[in-house]
């Protein structure tokens, strides 16, 4: 008799292994391999069950004029619409991931209320909470008077049958993908096979009906629940909802978007009545600014199309250790090593006997190389113990040769800085034709050494 084959699937990345191991070879996570049967899964029925149906190819040229832009449903919550690239796209699936308790359900309840108020049919399916609980939340968020339809379901086939009656929903929210299970797969809910099969069924539903489907996914580090990473490849868009536990604001970050830009963020502030939009994030990030202390530099950054000012804090302190400590929060650690190395090699400053700590204020994360110059300024300022001018912003990329290279959107960065009361800028020479205002009082280093000489006086 043939034995049923078993396989081990990494609950973090979805890779398949023939035998159990403590560590997944593919993603390097520990204790994430779980035994799952090979039966089930999409299209695993008997080969004769389905007859092939020929498709109908369409010439690309005949499509012109028919389709203009992706048909979108804007929620009216600007920060959310910005992150999705202008609203939820009909016939597409969007994944919203984040730590448990970060506010995903809150955000989507608010979005559901806003859309239902506009007359869209919105169905909110929760596998985690009972209908009464969702209603309570909606009441708190002042969305209880909207015609959002609620359902507490976890079986995909049941969900699709539930929404099949009456008008097709414009927006179908599934909270969360980890609680779903489908008859098509026979492993336990929450395993990769179930998550994948359920997501596939819902994505197919979106494409065939034209509804916008939003899947909520919890991100867990311990591998107990299937990470939404396996779903990321399947959906059209991925947004991550982030925030630091101790801070009261949340950032919605676009990670993948087949219909729009991927570098946008939406910023929200938490309150007891739900999430409030923050249309000027710089004010929020600079709100926590320490007074004139050495080691603090304001970076004029860009997030997608929007300038964001944020404070970078450095602490350089004598180290008791043979190998000094380097710790970074909110920035790239290899990038810090690079800036330190360039400072040492080209500017004659020494960090080798010092511990270096770098922090981006407010729990914000920077991914732009344009922050190099602000980081260098903060580091040198802390090392020499002199505060930087409080009305000055910094931006520019540092190359390994010690040159300061121009970055994009200089004009926009300066405009934002000026709006917030900054009077000077340190920026790369040749940043295009920036004009007027703050640009007139800018210092343009051609090399990093110019900046260091200026700070150290």
CA angle 104, 110, 113 (to 5 degrees): 135
Closest CB to Mg ion among residues 24, 108? 108
Q: Name, in order, each residue with C-beta under 8 angstroms of 360's C-beta and a sequence gap of 6 or more.
A: 310, 311, 312, 313, 329, 330, 331, 366
Name the binder of 323 from Mg ion, ligand TYD, none, CB < 5-8 A by kind: none
Q: Is 100 annotated as contributing to ligand binding?
A: yes
Phi first, then psi: give them for residue 363, nearest 5 degrees. Answer: 75, 15
# residues near ligand TYD by CB under 6 A: 13
Residue 295: left (phi > 0), alpha (psi -120 to 50), or beta? left
Q: Is 127 annotated as contributing to ligand binding?
A: no
309 binds ligand TYD (CB under 6 A): no
Closest CB to Mg ion among residues 105, 154? 105
Query: Residue 440 has what DSSP assignment?
Result: G
281 binds ligand TYD (CB under 6 A): no
Q: Which residue has the tokens 């909207």?
A: 146
Name the binder of 101 from Mg ion, ligand TYD, none, CB < 5-8 A by kind: ligand TYD
Q: Is 337 annotated as contributing to ligand binding?
A: no
Closest CB to ligand TYD among residues 114, 347? 114
Q: Is 98 annotated as contributing to ligand binding?
A: yes
Dihedral angle computed from the Cα positions of residues 449, 451, 452 and 456, in that order, rounded to the nearest 10 degrees: 140
Q: State the Cα–Cα distance between residues 197 and 29, nearest whole angstrom.
A: 23
Q: Which stretch binds Mg ion (CB under 5 A): 19-27, 97-105, 109-117, 432-440?
A: 97-105
In the bound state, the residue with its beta carbon closest to ligand TYD is 103
Q: State the Cα–Cα distance between residues 418 and 413, nearest whole angstrom.
A: 9
Closest CB to ligand TYD among residues 76, 101? 101
Name the binder of 198 from ligand TYD, Mg ion, none, CB < 5-8 A by kind: none
Q: Is 385 annotated as contributing to ligand binding?
A: no
Among 275, 315, 316, 349, binds ligand TYD (CB under 6 A): 275
Closest CB to ligand TYD among residues 101, 348? 101
103 binds ligand TYD (CB under 6 A): yes
Q: Name, in order, each residue with C-beta under 8 angstroms of 316's C-beta and a sequence gap of 6 or more.
A: 295, 351, 354, 355, 356, 357, 379, 382, 383
Query: Residue 168 has what DSSP assignment?
Result: P
Q: Is 189 annotated as contributing to ligand binding?
A: no
378 binds ligand TYD (CB under 6 A): no
Among 104, 196, 306, 415, binds ligand TYD (CB under 6 A): 104
Name the binder of 97 from ligand TYD, Mg ion, none, CB < 5-8 A by kind: none
Cis-peptide, bond into residue 176, ω within 30° of zero: yes
Q: Which stretch binds ligand TYD (CB under 6 A): 47-55, 256-264, 266-274, 374-382?
A: 266-274
Closest CB to ligand TYD among residues 284, 358? 284
β-pairing, 296-303 with 392-394?
parallel
Among 56, 272, 334, 385, binds ligand TYD (CB under 6 A): 272
178 binds ligand TYD (CB under 6 A): no
Q: Is 99 annotated as contributing to ligand binding?
A: yes
Give helix then strand counts, H and E, for the chain.
11, 23
Q: State the Cα–Cα distance between residues 8 and 17, nearest whole angstrom.
A: 5
Q: Which stretch binds ligand TYD (CB under 6 A): 7-15, 267-275, 315-323, 385-393?
A: 267-275
Closest CB to ligand TYD among residues 83, 377? 83
Q: Are 376 and 453 in contact (CB under 8 A)?
A: no
Closest CB to ligand TYD among residues 116, 296? 116
Closest CB to ligand TYD among residues 98, 295? 98
Give the helix ranges, DSSP H, for 210-255. 229-232
101 binds ligand TYD (CB under 6 A): yes
Q: Per the structure block, which two tokens stand in for 251? A: 């950032």
β-pairing, 212-218 with 171-175?
parallel
Q: Are 336 and 354 in contact (CB under 8 A)?
A: no
DSSP annotation string for 370-403: GGHHHHHHHHHHHHHT-PPPTTEEE--EE-TTSB
Q: Which stretch binds ligand TYD (CB under 6 A): 75-83, 97-105, 305-313, 333-341?
A: 97-105
Q: Which residue has the tokens 């609203």?
A: 87
Among 11, 12, 84, 105, binds Mg ion (CB under 5 A): 105
64 binds ligand TYD (CB under 6 A): no
Q: Is 65 annotated as contributing to ligand binding?
A: no
Among 89, 93, 102, 116, binds ligand TYD (CB under 6 A): 102
Q: Helix or strand or coil: residue 313? A: strand
Which residues make up the interface to ligand TYD (CB under 6 A)?
Answer: 98, 100-106, 270-272, 274-275
Which residues belong to the annotated binding site for ATP?
98-105
Which residues belong to the annotated binding site?
98-105
Which residues make up the interface to Mg ion (CB under 5 A)?
Answer: 105
């Amino acid at each position: 008799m043939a034995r049923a084959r078993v396989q081990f699937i990494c609950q973090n990345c979805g890779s398949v292994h023939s035998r159990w191991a403590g560590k997944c070879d593919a993603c390097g996570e520990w204790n994430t391999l779980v035994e799952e049967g090979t039966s089930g899964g999409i299209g695993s029925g008997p080969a004769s069950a389905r007859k092939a149906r020929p498709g109908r190819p369409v010439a690309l040229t005949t499509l012109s004029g028919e389709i203009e832009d992706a048909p979108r449903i804007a929620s009216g919550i600007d920060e959310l619409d910005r992150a999705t690239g202008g609203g939820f796209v009909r016939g597409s699936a969007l994944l919203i991931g984040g730590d448990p308790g970060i506010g995903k359900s809150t955000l989507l309840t608010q979005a559901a209320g806003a859309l239902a108020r506009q007359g869209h049919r919105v169905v909110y399916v929760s596998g985690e909470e009972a209908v009464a609980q969702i209603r309570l939340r909606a009441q708190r968020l002042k969305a209880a008077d909207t015609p959002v339809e609620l359902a507490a379901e976890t079986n995909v086939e049941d969900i699709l049958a539930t929404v099949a009656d009456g008008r097709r929903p414009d927006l179908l929210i599934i909270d969360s993908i980890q609680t779903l299970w489908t008859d098509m797969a026979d492993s336990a809910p929450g395993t990769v096979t179930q998550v994948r099969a359920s997501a596939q069924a819902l994505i197919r539903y979106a494409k065939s009906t034209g509804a916008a489907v939003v899947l909520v996914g919890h991100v867990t580090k311990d591998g107990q629940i299937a990470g939404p990473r396996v779903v990321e490849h399947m959906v059209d868009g991925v947004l991550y909802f982030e925030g630091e536990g101790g801070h009261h604001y949340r950032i919605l970050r676009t990670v993948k978007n087949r219909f729009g830009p991927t570098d946008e963020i939406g910023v929200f502030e938490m309150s007891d009545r739900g999430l409030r939009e923050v249309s000027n994030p710089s004010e929020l990030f600079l709100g926590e600014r320490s007074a004139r202390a050495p080691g603090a530099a304001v970076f004029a950054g860009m997030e997608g199309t929007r300038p964001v000012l944020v404070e970078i804090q450095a602490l350089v302190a004598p180290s008791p250790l043979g190998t000094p400590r380097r710790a970074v929060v909110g920035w790239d650690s290899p990038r810090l090593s690079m800036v330190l190395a360039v400072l040492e090699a080209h500017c004659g400053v020494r960090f080798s006997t010092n511990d270096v700590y770098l922090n981006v204020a407010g729990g914000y994360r920077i991914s732009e190389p344009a922050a190099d110059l602000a980081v260098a300024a903060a580091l040198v300022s802390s090392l020499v113990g002199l505060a930087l001018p409080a009305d000055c912003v910094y931006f520019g990329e540092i190359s390994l040769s010690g040159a300061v290279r121009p970055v994009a959107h200089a004009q926009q960065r300066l405009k934002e800085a000026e709006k917030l009361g900054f009077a000077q800028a340190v920026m790369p020479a040749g940043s295009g034709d920036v004009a007027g205002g703050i640009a007139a009082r800018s210092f343009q280093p051609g090399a990093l050494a110019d900046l260091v000489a200026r700070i150290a006086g």
